[in-house]
Amino acid sequence: MNKAMPNILVYYNEAEKFAEFLKEHGCTSVKTAKTPEEALLHLPGTEIVLSWNFPSHLLAQPEAASVQWVQSTGAGIDSLVSDRTIPQNVVLTRIVDQFGGMISEYVFAYLLLHCKDIPRLLSAQANREWDKFSPGSLEGKVIGVAGLGSIGVEIVKKARAFHMKVHGLSLSGKNADIVDRHFTAADWKTFVSELDYLILTLPLTNETRHVINRDILLSMKSNACLVNVGRGSLIVERDMLEVLKEQQHLTAVLDVFEKEPLDKENPLWSLPNVYITPHLSGPSKVDEVGRFFVDNLRRFVQGSSLQGVVDRERGY
Amino acid sequence: MNKAMPNILVYYNEAEKFAEFLKEHGCTSVKTAKTPEEALLHLPGTEIVLSWNFPSHLLAQPEAASVQWVQSTGAGIDSLVSDRTIPQNVVLTRIVDQFGGMISEYVFAYLLLHCKDIPRLLSAQANREWDKFSPGSLEGKVIGVAGLGSIGVEIVKKARAFHMKVHGLSLSGKNADIVDRHFTAADWKTFVSELDYLILTLPLTNETRHVINRDILLSMKSNACLVNVGRGSLIVERDMLEVLKEQQHLTAVLDVFEKEPLDKENPLWSLPNVYITPHLSGPSKVDEVGRFFVDNLRRFVQGSSLQGVVDRERGY
């Protein structure tokens, strides 16, 4: 089945950039919206929505009856999946296989920052101090990657280049063969107890929400380092805050939070053993996401199966 | 030829740690010194010197007539090689194949710090600012490794894991096959002109001294990043200072200097586009260096050829 060039609605804070990219790539009917009100205005006749954090309740409105497909500009899609009012005939897709490179670079930037104690070096330089010490090394350290999708796989590859011991946890058992030791959801405590570095790349689902609680955090080595590049709600944030206050040799590198942007008043900002970054480890760059979407659009028009289709029951 | 267990002199700021290690490993006659005066006192009868920055003029004294071998605790040995008064029968050895792991970690710590703009993230956190931006990536960037010995080789391996384009320069043509493009000493300007990251791992010899001068620095891309983990005197420091002041998008990461420790008054400390670290990228850890030395000592006692023997003409 060959469909005519469909009507596309881009919902994004920089919607114009996407619209420009799409027009350059042959899309003739592209509208943009930045607010729910604008979106509602443009939904009638729209077949495809390209969006980050689309106001999902609109999809159940009569104005959205023509929508067949919603493409998220990100890898995480929990906010859409959790809305049960979205009609079942609307296909949800997310970006896959595009974030591994950038996110794994972010992870190793902070692993190296931590093990080389770069903050101490920056501070010594500011004071013109020749503060010679023996920095640590990643070699031989144990990294545990929770979530072995395309992001986790790229982290594992780089960990190999740093001669680390690599453990992994995946819910489905996927890619169990690429790690030295594999764990499943039943083994969280054993999994975390042996790690120098715990990296969370899991999707947020009913099974993973709040999986990192006080009990799990206290099972970690007291000088371990936790890196969250998955979703904020994988962690019980209040538990983490308490444990980080108690265990001052524990370090957390957090790119995602239960509520984003992180509140100005949140005490996490000022803990000395916490690095906060504003959800930028896996940026949704217009040209990368645009290429993924244009390729999917070609498949849509040709009637082929789309890339990154979300299984709503599984949650990602 | 089997020699009796020889007399060893350790000259080092933490000489006792080495002496303890050596005694644990079966060395029965180990003396320690921290000053030239102490060294002179212990030289008579000494066959082997294990040392960092040994006062080389002592080796030409009659008190040092029994010295057969000087093992440096570092990879660089320029200060010994440049002293022509050291008797030719004294064998000089340096540590080889031990620094690649640590130094390559240091290099990637700073490459990632630079491309992810971690200082901006640290500063935003200090101000509780959710400063979302699109960080750069190492992927596809061009790294040039000058010096393809064991340190350079390990940097090349890690660069591959980050999907970088890898150029290399080696004086001897060694390991030309592990890089995408290879250059020799005749090609410095062309070599540097295409690089996003230039990493100096060269030994200091007559051929490499001051090889990075104003002309070469101005041939670099204006937003490139120079990392020196070789020797300070590979660079004309005054030229570098001037160029870094003029080209504010150029970045330098410096672990080694013409004179160490770096003077408090040196203006390099406070340039915003310079990272200063106190010659710690490849730490001479007692146990690692100790193991290398003990293995070499076994060879010495057995009359086998030593590892890391320096060719004084070549200079390393």
Q: Check residue B186 and report its DSSP letter.
A: G
Angle made by CA atoms A148, B115, A252, in degrees to the nearest 5: 50
Taking the C-alpha atoms of residue A197 and residue A251, their distance in angstroms, rounded to an integer, is: 9
| Chain A residue with the nearest C-alpha to that of B127 | A269
Residue indicated by tokens 């395309």: A150
Q: At what angle do helices A15-24 and A286-302 cross, to 10 degrees?
A: 50
Q: Is B157 on the interface with A (CB under 8 A)?
A: yes
SS3 (DSSP) at B32: strand
Q: Is B106 on the interface with A (CB under 8 A)?
A: yes
Longest dimension (CA), chain B: 70
ipTM of the prediction = 0.86
Taking the C-alpha atoms of residue A103 and residue A158, their distance in angstroms, rounded to an integer, is: 11
Residue indicated by tokens 């899991």: A202
Q: Is B259 on the interface with A (CB under 8 A)?
A: no
pLDDT single digits (tens) B154-211: 999 999 999 999 999 998 888 999 999 999 999 999 999 999 999 999 999 999 999 9
Q: Residues 23 to 52 of A: which have CB under 8 A from any B CB?
A: none
Taking the C-alpha atoms of residue A32 and residue A21, their distance in angstroms, rounded to an integer, is: 12
Q: Which of B149, B158, B40 lies closest to B96, judged by CA?
A: B149
Phi/psi for A241 (5° steps) reads -60, -45
What DSSP element (H or E) covers B37?
Answer: helix B36-42
Q: Please give the domain boundaries of chain A with CATH numbers for all domains.
A: 8-95+284-302 (3.40.50.720), 100-276 (3.40.50.720)
Q: Is A131 on the interface with B (CB under 8 A)?
A: yes
Using the beta-carbon criterion (under 8 Å), do B132 and A276 form an inter-chain contact?
Answer: no
Q: Which of A42, A33, A40, A38 lies closest to A11, judged by CA?
A: A33
Which among B106, B161, B262 has CB closest to A157?
A: B161
> Per-residue pLDDT for chain A (316 aa), expressed as one digit of tens each?
445 789 999 999 889 999 999 999 999 999 999 999 999 999 999 999 999 889 999 999 999 999 999 999 988 788 888 888 999 999 999 998 888 999 999 999 999 999 999 999 999 999 999 999 989 999 999 999 999 999 999 999 999 999 999 999 998 888 999 999 999 999 999 999 999 999 999 999 999 999 999 999 999 999 999 999 999 999 999 999 999 999 999 999 999 999 999 999 999 999 999 999 999 999 767 888 898 999 999 999 999 999 999 998 888 8
What DSSP element (H or E) covers A172?
Answer: none
List chain B residues with CB under 8 Å of A156. Answer: none
Question: What does the DSSP assignment read for B209-273?
Answer: TT-B-HHHHHHS-TT-EEEE-S-GGGB-HHHHHHHHHH-TT-EEEES--SSSSPPTT-GGGG-TT
Using the beta-carbon criterion (under 8 Å), do B106 and A135 form an inter-chain contact?
Answer: yes
Q: Check residue A303 and report its DSSP letter.
A: T
Active site residue A231: yes
